[in-house]
Structure 1
């Protein structure tokens, strides 16, 4: 009998153990297995943690990301990481290449981490299980790997509001599951998409759309409206809250809302006072986002200049809770950035830009009485000190404000967007602090100087992400006024083209004016032609450099809004990247052309002698054809590799004097041609190039082609020779001319105007180059 009982007890125990085991296996299969996370996945997450600041507090606190104390935002199945959702966490750093080793990752959302930058690693194409990639409103830059779009499970890619650039090439093998690709507000200059892709592609806000505005992926529904105005839809009756908090509409208590802006691109109504519509939006927000009724606050709806309906949204935590926890923020951020949330139909499609969420500092859940008493006593002592310091702080604040107004002028309100709402939204450009640029150049070390001129110096710097930059730093005495500096920045931030040097940002503080550009490792065209840079440009490369620069100028003249006349086109203002792609630089003298000024602009004559349009010099009537003349001089420079005025001879006059149409090979210019290209077996299309250059430098503006015509003719030249037409291959040191006294005379028939002060003739990248020699007398 006892033996039977023993056997029965053992049987029962075994059945119980088996049941527990089955339950554990089931639990592991559902979401998180509380065992050891896959070693490789753990290593990858730790690599990400090493690259980041402000990662969620739970990251790194346990050795097992999927264990009993899982890392926030990480979802696992079968001990493998399948999802990372860290929207609006304030993460700073770069996206490490190791992420490509998360072999089971299905969903990645790192949106609204505005200091998360770096390149989009090609290793992301290794994620064969990836269905969703969302990284909106970050600082990603560089090219997008074509391999990404071939992942067989990939369904959607949303990388809006970054600085991704170059050509968007989706490759030839696009996932059949891919339905949504959105790269709005990036820096793509071209796009390559095969006909096999049938999903949605959104590229509005990219430079490519300025050239191809009617393509399907650039179209945005436009609506005309009367002047927009603001209104508040929900209010508490009274009360104020500390900084960062707002009154919750459900309790009228102060809390920290999750907030951002919803942009409705094509709503089906125009009346922003339509209470019924916005109440329906409120109701759907709290219902679909699992919030408590009444916890949504919609504020100040209006239509912006793009005819988008803009609505400020605040979502409040439930009850008397002051904060959302991190999991709630991740969930809400994902649903809005992923557009899982669907608004009422009359609002149409939208996108959402979140603000950083102010998570509370970590604190222990309980404190001993002694600690509490100690804190109370300490606070009492501090009160006395604070009272004494208050007056001093007030005085110092007044002094600081006064100094800022004196120093900043119109820039007094130009602060980081995160800190102050008055900063302008500059597309593709951001505010840099003085300390940030100082660190990037090793305290503006002499070893990092790239060049200098009348405006100041240019330095090479490196950002924490590893990106190289070029910093144009004004010297005391040459700085523009605040309004002029602001105008130049706003203009530069509007022009985005593959063949224009990109403005990354600016600095205006501590008595400094600095512009931050993309770094151009190839240097100036002037340096390459003179042999200073060490780069060798054969004839084919020179043709492609000419085409790239011409495309950049044609964009300024015809596609920029409003059009822009560069006014200082010269070889030292044409820069090249590591692929020898030519980009036009230095917009310090550029002029915007309004509709009323179409035809010409009356303005003081500015430019660089040798490149200066003589008709503009004599009439003071500036037109786009003035840039065409300067570009024609550059074309001749590409042939002779000498400065426009050298040893008393002017390149344009000499070329016209020697030109012989009957000389099919050299057009009579053999004695002028650069020896480095004379050795070329065949100077492809040389005659056509020379004739185009001479038309550009016609004495009369009406005899010159437009820049778009120049582009077409150079493209025809290249294509006819079988070379292909790919172009891949602030202030300035220029001079102002006083021609107001007496009758204006031709600038190249008399000695050039004398200046009281000479400008350095050394190359000055990003801000003009050499200047003419004031003693030269062209003959």
Structure 2
């Protein structure tokens, strides 16, 4: 009871300054939508948590602006489930990428049409079925629509013809039927899409004729890939209007009639594939197609004379096999009527430098470092490659280098294997992408890379375009065991990297003294530089501080799920060769203690100190209330609060904390941990651990922000010194001027200082006083104020007014603006039986009017 009441004080303090912890910065509709989607999905990233705020706690794959979700990108995350109607509530969404989640399926909801700000819709490589909803035509801002490699059936909705900004339209590899929709007086059609550069309709069951109305001189079309359908009738002459065409693939259909003569006017063509149709007549002159790299007309029924000079380009050969004209004696022995296959082996990235190295399990050998790792891997398919020699190392090395350059990876970190030509005459290859360091990619890095590839941000070399990529649903387990190899018991840490001990040795200068930046009870902390230039802090456990293997695993699995902007982020870990190491993000401005003492180039004014208190309190509140299970820090102090480049607070060292369940709260600890001066006396005396232990320590830090003094300094206890100095009648400095940090004496005064000190003292309430209150309360019926349900700021009960100073509205007012703009919060916590402070404020530029109403409840 006492623990909860004391902690509520700190939570209520957060409410007066920000609603972010209690209600989140995410728009309530967006938060509800995401949590509804989450309820339908399995294998969501570990950062997704029903009790946390998506925008405030950095859910993987979520990007926000002003509290609204604008990007939802989770490609290749092995998500299982369906996409429900809640997706339509994310009305500010501009990018939706759920591609390469093969077990994500079901019908595509009609509510997708509500996302009218959407520019990218990437759902390829999933298992969606049913018809494509006509409401998709409402997405007028779409530039990329990728629905390929699913199980969609029915016809192509004519409403797609309304997507006039579309650049990429990919409906390939489904079970779509019927003709291509062409506009009429009452309905739109594909012929309206004059800005679209890519029509990818291959590998469906589309039928009917290819309408002459589809083409016009206004078209921007460069890739027309219609192969492997059941189109019939002639190739329309109007195809010659599409003067920007580079790829025309009509093979494996039922097309008949003559090849249009005006194809010869498509001088930008690189690929012309008409194979496996029912064409007749002669081959027209193609003399103007000087850029042509691949020509295929085999098995089409062509007869008559072959135009002179057709095969002037060396690479255009073997294209007329199984045509009647090849039966003539004058042609039968020519190369273009013979099927010639090279016997050279297909290309594969060389592993010669790795000699006899090999990997076990699902790990793969990184060609760059010859170490074992878990790459991002998948099948890359090139539907209109401009060559057919899959042994050509120069070409595949070009795509390797383009991948690592554009993905910002290390040279030679791409491995290509199993290159083949499919029955559809596509070229496909398995591509493995290896991390810069560590054994696997973090979840955020994997999302970043897959988004670049899936959304055509990666630009392949011209001879390979267009491509698509289907990610293999590989698990990315962390190495675990003394040898660094996966033994099947790896913790679930997709959000962090598993580092080898050798990697961390090198990046820390072999744990040199020059790189040592701190030391604590757990061990030493070193600054490290990863191979990609990222700076990290490496905490190396001393021999006497190491946990058992299972305990260390459990801790890492939990910490990988803890994400908050006011907590130092865990980047990875290492557990091998008898070592336990945690790798954290590096925080550039050091500890709060260092900055209070005086760090070169850093000045902490009163407003910044208030913001630091707020940030640290938010991080601590997250650990206590939103982490699952909750975490008690046990060592809150100014050296465990770090300041980043913006001097925002981040709580550190919670990785060495105590995880608690409801049944463990208040249990007797076998070992008291903490730092003298910050340590809760009740915890020290009773050894009963609770969140109040952290709240007490935080109260000490708050007084340290005012005085800049250590808790125990020159034999004086700073908390007692503050309590003794307090003068209720000193309206300006509350009696603390002589012990305040001189740097803020002229800034921190009046109401804002008084309320800050009062809140700190609430956190420091003596154990005896709290126990007396707990004994009295049950016998004072009606004395305790009953909770109300606040809906606006003016109804929100809070214990103290912080940040507001009626004598300095010009200074403090702007900091309050976000608070005053917050609306419709529902504060879920019961109010403590101390003071209820009702605040209603009207913020007017240049002034601030405050009304206060104090109610004594005990």
Q: Larger Rg: 1 or 2?
A: 2
- TM interval, shorter chain, is 0.3 to 0.5
Q: Could you state the TM-score of these two structures normalised by the residue count of structure 2?
A: 0.41
